[in-house]
Structure 1
Amino acid sequence: MNISYQKILLQDKVIIIPLFQTDKRPSTTGIPSIDSYVKKRLANEDFLGKPQDLLMSFLDDEKQSMTMILIGLGKRESLHDDGVREIGGQLSKRLRALKKTAVTTIVDHLPPHVSSTFIEGMALANYRLDKFKTAKENDLPLVQELTIIQKKSHKQWEKELAEKLLIVKHIHEVRDLVNYPADDIYPESLAEKAAALSKQYGLKLEILREKEIQAKKLNLLWAVGRGSQHKPRLITLTYNGGPKSMKPILLVGKGITFDSGGYNLKPTKYIEEMYMDMAGGATIMGTIAACSELKLRVNVVAIIAAAENLVSSNAYKPSDIITAYNGKTVEITNTDAEGRLVLADALSFGIEKYQPQAAIDLATLTGACLMALGDRYAGIFSNDKKLLQSVKKVSQTTSELVWELPIHPDYEKRLKSEKADMISCDVKTGLAGASTAAAFLKRFVGKTPWLHLDIAGVAFGNMPKAYDHGGASGYGVRLLVEYLRNVRK
């Protein structure tokens, strides 16, 4: 969606005016016919301005005919950012249904943050994946051009909006990666996507392939992915935007490009969407690209542990005992608990190599988190109160919500093994699955401040917000970028 600015209306055909519910006398647009139209509609109570109220009609003046769209924001005092985004997203979808590809909006009368968030919501919803369609003529068109009427230039507001739309661009790229099928995105092709990203945004790239993974004894990653013809990759992207003295933030993403469950095979109605099990990896790829394009003053290392978890004669099995990168032995109790294994090796490897000030991992890790928190909150776990509070605070400003879950000492005890240092998954009780998974990961980070985000419920789904779509949501990019923007060490 291209953005342009004008001081006055020219030959615009579709005019969008968002209004608060209590706005009986909104700021004038400077165009008498439009001002008169808005006042009349408000006076007649044709339009009340309730959330997502929409009134569309035609305005004919002496020079041209225009389609006027009034969209309600609700009461000013009840306004919150995500509500504004959803209204913008709903409008974007209505414009597609109306086949309006070029529109103009007047937002000078709104508080600056409200107007930029409204447009952000429009942009977030202005997405679809049609790469694999051969016939596209019946698809509803996306909005291609948005003209913003400004009586005066507002450089700071324009900068804020440009940054939001840049992040939206990277969210769309993440959605694409997650939505692509597993025969299109697999460990090698995900590494190729990372290589393209590194060239485009000036990121340092390192890819560990089969021999290097085995030589470095990343045995948990190798075990999970060895059963596929597409062998594992450990992909590292590095962005250095801060001073050399600044220790980096380590981001680790689960990159399971297809999860069959292995020998503990997933059933029908669960296995079909498992090409999206690499959402954590895709999210940190989008995040580090956005950091580079925004030129954030921070150093970031992003590691994606990429593998396919399939069934074959060479696949790992329940009862296997595997030595992790950090030297600990793990008894495999369920091959469908593979995400924690690849994360464990990636975390301990990344912490040892890069000595980060903090480590954050992102993964569609457990169905238990989805059952506990639903599809609006990510589960959050940490061994560091300061890091935990920082991410919680950012969650409120970005509306990518998190909810703290416990790593109780009793849950940690449930990982005890009679044969090895630990079991991979508590299959005996099956309780507190998200917490026992986090307890497992905690054993691989040492004293490094660490935070785990279980995004199983929010990374994709079939009940999207108005600015999302069925499928990948792109959750986490706004959250992580805003957190990294505020890192000061």
Structure 2
Amino acid sequence: MLNFLEKHLNENIILEAVFKGDNLPEYTVEKNFYITEFLNNKKAVIYLGEKDKFKKESLNSLIDVLISLSRTYELNLSSFLVNDITATFFVNKLVEKYEFKNAKLYNVKTDKKEEENNLFVVYNNLKELDSEIKKVKVLADAVNFARNLQVTPPNVCNSEWLAEEVKKEVGKDSNLKVNVLTKKEIEKLNMGLLLSVNKGSMYEPRLVSIEYIGNPNSKEKTVFVGKGITFDSGGYNIKTGRYMVGMKFDMSGAAIVASALKAISQLNPKANVGAVLAITDNRVNGDANLPDAVWKSMNGKTVEINNTDAEGRLVLADGMTYAIRNLNATRVITVATLTGAILVALGQTYTGAFSTSDNLWKEIEVAAKETDELVWRLPLHDDFAKFIKKSVVADLKNTDFTGNGGSISAAMFLKEFAENAEFAHLDIAGTAEISDKPMGVMVKTLVQLALNKK
């Protein structure tokens, strides 16, 4: 447990920061992040090297140590506040990392072990930190909601289950309007692309919309559209071997945008924000989507399928149209584990970003920096749309077979459905999960984007 106190309990070992050149207690081990205990005094010190080099960038490594302590300590927060490290910043990073590490995510192991150690953080003016602690806990809760959905296995997390879980959680909030569309309602809207992906499934598709109105006097509205493929087999262009493992994470975009709205509603920014979750799985049966098939989207454009494994852009396209025409979005931001090509470009370090608007990109970049999430902008250029516009029988093909700039051509496909709205796309295929661990990436950035609206 992580606890905050204004005075020491004096029941546990008090832990303080020390630096090179300080009047160090005898026998202090001068090794970075090493804790030397003096049990006769119920005190301990953690060595942090040269004081003038210990800055915000150093904090991540320190906090990794603090949230993994093997015994209960009372942390003297003031001793860590040097250079540009404020109490607010320190607590933000500590709570965020602690909540991430200790999240109760889906797990059916029979030999789970619970650690019982506590960390008491002692600071003489907790009122100063109160609002920051509340904010970071709201964000951490939202991130962990997304992570729990991400990691839930696909035999549990099917499209119908996912829609109900989102409705059950975000529907608690009176600040949010939640609507879940069934297959019949999706058919009435002529969402041919979403329905085409769903053809191979034993579960119905779902389209979930969530709305938050924080500025009723403004017509500006940002809507996040999340890819919700609860499992991606690739369809008839089936994935092989290990490439199908981990495809439960293909619904990460939907989980993330729902979680962002969950936090936004509690933090009450003066902004109008929505989310659209386009949900189905991509399986194979006798009636599944076929290469060479042609389908009409909700906005009327027709698409020739040349790769059934490029299904994410199809469900997003119909989701974008719904966001623009039914939720009156003036800005659309898609969030999706969209392309393997983004891993080639940016690895698992950066989320790839695309935008038709320099202003919208700048706002995303600022929000990402404020929340310590790494985003890198890639270009949108007509050269990357030439192939997808060369269908003999339809307006578009869903995949560029040249093999060049796959992430860009996917973003250019989505751009075709942006209509008059400002458009941005976040490709999280490399950052949504790392080594089978769900990351809940970009939740904080999307929330901060809304909070930055004045």
Equivalent pair of 2:34/2:47 in contact (CA under 8 Å):
yes
**Counterparts in 2 of 1:127 and 1:14: CA distance versus 1, 3 Å:** farther
Of 313, 324, 335, 2:286 maps to: 313
Separation of aligned partners in 1, 2:334 and 2:15? 41
- Counterpart of 1:167 in 2: which secondary structure? helix
The aligned length equals 446
In structure 2, the residue matched to 1:460 is 433
**Counterparts in 2 of 1:250 and 1:284: CA distance versus 1, 3 Å:** same
How do 1:109-124 and structure 2 match up within 5 A?
109=79, 110=81, 111-119=86-94, 120-124=96-100
Equivalent pair of 2:151/2:249 in contact (CA under 8 Å):
yes
Q: Which runs of 5+ in 1 are unaligned?
A: 26-38, 463-469
Separation of aligned partners in 1, 2:49 and 2:225? 38
Of 362, 381, 396, 1:422 maps to: 396
In structure 2, the residue matched to 1:436 is 409
Equivalent pair of 2:230/2:281 in contact (CA under 8 Å):
yes
In structure 1, the residue matched to 2:158 is 186
Equivalent pair of 1:260/1:271 in contact (CA under 8 Å):
yes
Question: Do residues 107 (structure 1) and 77 (structure 2) align?
Answer: yes
Of 136, 161, 170, 1:164 maps to: 136
**Counterparts in 2 of 1:233 and 1:424: CA distance versus 1, 3 Å:** same
In structure 2, the residue matched to 1:399 is 372
- Counterpart of 1:60 in 2: which secondary structure? helix
Separation of aligned partners in 2, 1:71 and 1:158? 28
Separation of aligned partners in 1, 2:293 and 2:269? 44
CA deviations 1:138-167 (Å, max 9, x no partner) are x25265x4422123x242333113211221
Separation of aligned partners in 1, 2:341 and 2:201? 27
Equivalent pair of 1:214/1:222 in contact (CA under 8 Å):
yes
- Counterpart of 1:160 in 2: which secondary structure? helix
Cα distance, 1:270 vs. partner?
1.5
**Counterparts in 2 of 1:247 and 1:73: CA distance versus 1, 3 Å:** farther
Equivalent pair of 2:6/2:126 in contact (CA under 8 Å):
no
Separation of aligned partners in 1, 2:61 and 2:306? 43
**Counterparts in 2 of 1:75 and 1:385: CA distance versus 1, 3 Å:** farther
Question: Do residues 479 (structure 1) and 449 (structure 2) align?
Answer: no
Question: Do residues 447 (structure 1) and 420 (structure 2) align?
Answer: yes
Equivalent pair of 1:287/1:477 in contact (CA under 8 Å):
yes
Separation of aligned partners in 2, 1:69 and 1:306? 51
Question: Do residues 4 (structure 1) and 8 (structure 2) align?
Answer: no
Cα distance, 1:391 vs. partner?
0.8
In structure 2, the residue matched to 1:173 is 145
Runs of 4+ with >6 A deviation = none
Cα distance, 1:255 vs. partner?
0.6
Separation of aligned partners in 1, 2:108 and 2:77? 37
- Counterpart of 2:307 in 1: which secondary structure? coil
- Counterpart of 2:201 in 1: which secondary structure? coil
Separation of aligned partners in 2, 1:84 and 1:474? 21
- Counterpart of 2:243 in 1: which secondary structure? coil
How do 1:291-310 and structure 2 match up within 5 A?
291-310=264-283
Equivalent pair of 1:12/1:103 in contact (CA under 8 Å):
no
Equivalent pair of 2:340/2:429 in contact (CA under 8 Å):
yes
Equivalent pair of 2:154/2:230 in contact (CA under 8 Å):
yes
**Counterparts in 2 of 1:486 and 1:409: CA distance versus 1, 3 Å:** same
In structure 2, the residue matched to 1:467 is none
**Counterparts in 2 of 1:149 and 1:375: CA distance versus 1, 3 Å:** same
In structure 1, the residue matched to 2:172 is 200
Separation of aligned partners in 1, 2:294 and 2:45? 64
- Counterpart of 2:354 in 1: which secondary structure? strand
Equivalent pair of 2:106/2:152 in contact (CA under 8 Å):
no
Of 322, 344, 347, 2:320 maps to: 347
Cα distance, 1:75 vs. partner?
5.5
**Counterparts in 2 of 1:14 and 1:231: CA distance versus 1, 3 Å:** farther
Q: Percent identity?
A: 33
Separation of aligned partners in 2, 1:394 and 1:384? 16
CA deviations 1:275-330 (Å, max 9, x no partner) are 01111111111111111122222221111001100011121011100000110000
**Counterparts in 2 of 1:274 and 1:248: CA distance versus 1, 3 Å:** same
- Counterpart of 2:99 in 1: which secondary structure? helix
Q: Which runs of 5+ in 2 are unaligned?
A: none
